[in-house]
Every structure is written in structure tokens, then in C-alpha cells.
Structure 1
Amino acid sequence: MNRKIILACLILAVAVATIGVASALSTEINLPDGYEIDEAQSYSNNTTFMGVDCECNHAVMVNGDKNITVDTYLPRAELNLLQVMVQL
């Protein structure tokens, strides 16, 4: 019985992680009213995040003396979360 519960929890964890990664792959940023993207402070480069090769996008939105910084990390290769869970 305990094995079934552990297996169900692992499947649930993989499903939640997969949904989270899929929703995080969107790079569109909604600008709040009155804010504009400051191109001088924004950049995009390739980096490694938690051992995964990623494209890092850094966007700075400004409105007068206020600013909002948004960083996104997009994996450059497809992630197989089930394989990662099995290795653990």
C-alpha cells in the first residue's frame, strides 16, 4: 500500500512540475499602465541555471522613478522531468 501512495505522489509531483515548466516557457511580458521597457538596461544572454543551459532574458520596466525588473530563464533544450525524478 505504501508503494502505491509513493508512486501516486511521484506522478503528481511530475505532473505539477511539467505544468509549471510549460507555463513558465512564455516570454511575453504584460506592461503595467504607464511603464515602458528600458532597452538600455534590458538584455538577453545564454547562461546555466541550476545545471541547465538556458537563455536568460532581463527586462527592466520604468515609470518615472519606479522600476520593475523581470528575469526569465528558458531552457535551450527540452527537459525530461520524468528522467530527472527517476535518477533521484
Structure 2
Amino acid sequence: MSYYYRHNFSFSYHGLQRAKERLKLKDKKDYEVKEICLEHIRNSTKSFMSGNEIYISASNTNIFFVVNKQNNLIITVTEISAEKQLRMYGV
């Protein structure tokens, strides 16, 4: 990534609270949680689309950031089982 790279994701209040809960970051400040989340997104190699959402794995775990495609808003952070991932992939 270039030195001038800027992320283009924003966080809903719900998304930020779920990130703190799911990634066990309750003791961190909001700006620290955002940076950790963006690092997870940058390091992820696993994602898929479903409807109006993009699901991006948190550093290739079963925890996913759910992002609205239209405005790149992180709506929530949720755990998705392998079985549900297969159904969403359409396999």
C-alpha cells in the first residue's frame, strides 16, 4: 500500500460496539478499535458478497465485518459458522 493510502470504511455505532464485543476490545478507545478493525480488514484474504453486503473476515477467522456495499459502512461484526458460509457462497 502506498504511504498516502486511506481506508474508505466508516463505522455505525452498532458496528463499533459489536467489534468491541466480538474482538474482545472492550477496554480500548473507539479510535483504537477502528484502527484494529481496519488492520484486520487489510490482512484479510477471505470475503464474499451477499445482496447489498460484503462480508470480510477478521484476519481470516470466522468473525466477519458486514459492510454495506453502497456506502462502505461497517454495519456489524458477527461470527458466521462454516456451514452458513457455505450456504451463503451458494455451494
Of structures 1 and 2, the larger Rg is shown by: 1
**Structure 2-normalised TM-score?**
0.27
Structure with greater strand percent: 1
Ranked by relative contact order (alpha carbons within 8 Å, sequence separation 6 or more), the top structure is 2
